[in-house]
Amino acid sequence: MTGPGHAACRTARDLLDTASSLGIALPWREDPSSLLVPAVIAGRTVPNRFAVQPMEGFDAALRNGAPGELTFRRYERYGSGGSGLIWFEATSVLPGGRSNPRQLWLHRGTARAFRDLTRRTRDAAARAFGKAHSPFLVLQLTHSGRHARPDGAPAPLAAFHDPALFGDGPEPEIVSDDALLRLMDGTIAAVRLARDAGFDAVDIKACHGYLVHELLFARRRGNSRFGGSFENRVRFLVDTVERILLEVPDVVPAVRLNTFDALPASTGFGHAETGSPVLDCSEPLAAARLLAEKGCGLLNITGGNPYRSPHLVRPYDRAAGSGPPAGEHPLMGVDRLIRAAAAVQRTLPRVPCVGSGYSWLRQHVSGVGAGAVEAGDVSFVGLGRGAFAYPDAPADLMNRGRLDKKKVCVACSLCTELMRGGGPAGCAVRDRGIYGGRSADSPEDQ
């Protein structure tokens, strides 16, 4: 089932040789202990450099979007697994903004359940590591925009018209400036609820083709304060960050930011010219700089579009379903994401950045991640699929000094297939008792 990609990278030597044959200078440290050194975000100490990436489980209550039993289970596992930073998954601030009827939705009616979720996550961490180990909790707030399916059927809301971005569904409604201002108000209301629920930070999600990300390349949005010039395109994000600092000052504003898109159409953010696959981070870097100046305290750097170029978002050995083969070695995707995070982190050394796309590396995450942290290329090493598969990777590194190759993600895309099927999503290989008992080719060997 899995391709040859990682099969040729079983040992660290194999991995580094493969990297150099592809012309990639992969960061590397044999000694992974720098991953266990505490960090500081906006004056708060974070126990170590492991971050759980936001990963939708689609296991919320159907009626009101409250965390369900599987949601609690996932976050308790993250808490007891030892990650210093836990970035909670995409959570809608408006009912119409959900990507799936089982996406989390934060509102007055669910606020108490979110409070329970942070409490149970912190309790699990304290039981495993003592009270001094307190993970930093971030909640990702979103509107799914063009990909909204609040009741299961597409209900797309887009920043601008672009026939090349239509999916199979209906033509999207174009969001008005007034509706964007209402979304900003709804976001600020959700930030207050998130603070009361015990989150340290909130992320205004600006990645992967969802509404606020799409605004960043809404060059063709005419007659609008949120389209056209760079200043207009970043306005929603920048104004929201400013309002958080002013109106809910005890929460750290964070942003998960796309630094490249590689959309096949003549549109996108972070390219030498529109539609070009050549990376040009000038605009994403300018956006990150502006956000930092305004007081954004934490960035999570990602790229690609899961609907158009999934291998760029999450390098894999096997595509989900009948999805396209990657067309490049997955390590090139990993390297692209590592370099994107490094470009931002080196430009803004005082703003901690989380790096994405590490899961394909499997047990070598510790060597590559430690290399990236020591080089100043990133502050936190994020694990998405890797956290579904192996939530206690940080605990293993603390207690045994190494990661267990029998527990790692095998980049087989089964979690994506579960998500596309409407959820619940998790690791069908390493957590098969819950997520369906499917198996990649001999995962034990990988």
Site string for ligand FMN, 15-44 (x = CB under 6 A): ------------------------------
Residue from 384, 394, 424, 443 that binds ligand FMN (CB under 6 A)? 384
* CA–CA gap between residue 166 and residue 156 (Å, rounded): 9
CB of residue 149 vs ligand FMN: minimum separation in angstroms? 14
228: left (phi over 0), alpha (psi -120 to 50) or beta: left
**Nearest-angstrom CA–CA distance, 324 and 117:** 37
**Binding window for ligand FMN (CB under 6 A); candidates: 64-72, 111-119, 356-364, 436-444:** 356-364
Q: List binders of ligand FMN among 133-152 (CB under 6 A).
A: 140
Q: How far is the CB of 224 from ligand FMN (least distance, A)?
A: 25
- Looking at the Cβ atoms of 205 and 221, the one nearer to ligand FMN is 205
Q: Binding residue for ligand FMN (CB under 6 A) from 52, 55, 124, 252?
A: 55
Could you tell me which stretch among 1-9, 51-59, 144-152, 236-244 binds ligand FMN (CB under 6 A)? 51-59
Minimum distance of ligand FMN from residue 161's CB (angstroms):
25
29 versus 385: smaller Cβ distance to ligand FMN: 385
Which residue among 285, 415, 429, 440 contacts ligand FMN (CB under 6 A)? 415
Residue number, 113 or 365, with CB nearest to ligand FMN: 365
The whole-angstrom distance between residue 57's C-alpha and the CA centroid of its chain comes to 13
Minimum separation from the CB atom of position 229 to ligand FMN (A): 26
Cα torsion 256, 302, 300, 425: sign: positive
The DSSP symbol for 271 reads: B
Nearest distance from C-beta of residue 333 to ligand FMN, angstroms: 9
3-state secondary structure of 262: coil
Q: What's the rounded Cα separation, in Å, for the pair 74 and 391?
A: 9
Q: Is-contact 208 264, C-beta < 8 A?
A: no
Judged by CB under 6 A, which stretch of 10-18, 47-55, 152-160, 212-220 contacts ligand FMN? 47-55
User: Using CB under 6 A, which of the segments 31-39, 241-249, 378-386, 427-435 binds ligand FMN?
Assistant: 378-386
> Hey, what's the torsion of the CAs at 28, 29, 32, 33, to 10 degrees?
-130
Torsion sign across C-alpha atoms 355, 164, 91, 245 = positive
Q: Which residue is nearest to ligand FMN (CB)?
A: 384
Q: Smallest distance, Å, CB 228 to ligand FMN?
A: 26
Can residue 206 be called a binding residue for ligand FMN (CB under 6 A)? no
- Give the angle 61-357-424 at the CA atoms, nearest 5°: 20
Our CB check for ligand FMN shows the closer of 80 and 91 to be: 91
For ligand FMN, the closer CB: 56 or 59: 56
Q: How far is the CB of 210 from ligand FMN (least distance, A)?
A: 8
Question: Per CB under 6 A, does 256 bind ligand FMN?
Answer: yes
Q: Please classify residue 174 by burial: count the beta carbons closer than 10 Å to its beta carbon, then call 0-12 exposed, 13-18 middle and 19+ buried.
A: middle
Rg (CA), the chain: 20
Calpha distance 378→229 (Å, rounded): 30
Least CB distance from residue 348 to ligand FMN, whole Å? Answer: 20
According to CB under 6 A, which one of 16, 425, 427, 440 is a site residue for ligand FMN? 425
Q: Residues with Cβ < 8 Å from 253, sequence gap 6 or more? A: 201, 202, 204, 240, 241, 244, 245, 295, 296, 297, 298
* Stretch touching ligand FMN by CB under 6 A, among 53-61, 162-170, 222-230, 390-398: 53-61
* Residue whose CB is less far from ligand FMN, 224 or 356: 356
- Choose among 329, 415, 387: nearest CA to 7: 329
Contacting residue, 70, 86, 90, 234, with ligand FMN by CB under 6 A:
90
Q: Measured between alpha carbons, how far apart are the two ends of the chain, in Å?
A: 12
**Per-residue binding letters, 63-82, with ligand FMN (x by CB under 6 A):** --------------------
CA distance linking residue 375 with residue 359, whole number of Å: 20
Parallel, antiparallel or unpaired: strands 104-105 and 85-92: parallel
Its sign, for the CA torsion 208, 405, 18, 20, is positive
Q: Which of 83, 100, 309, 356 binds ligand FMN (CB under 6 A)?
A: 356
Residues 186/93, Cβ–Cβ less than 8 Å:
yes
Which listed residue (117, 137, 313, 381) binds ligand FMN by CB under 6 A? 313
Instruction: List residues near ligand FMN by CB under 6 A.
Output: 53-56, 89-90, 140, 205, 207-208, 256, 302, 313-314, 356-360, 382-386, 415-416, 419, 425
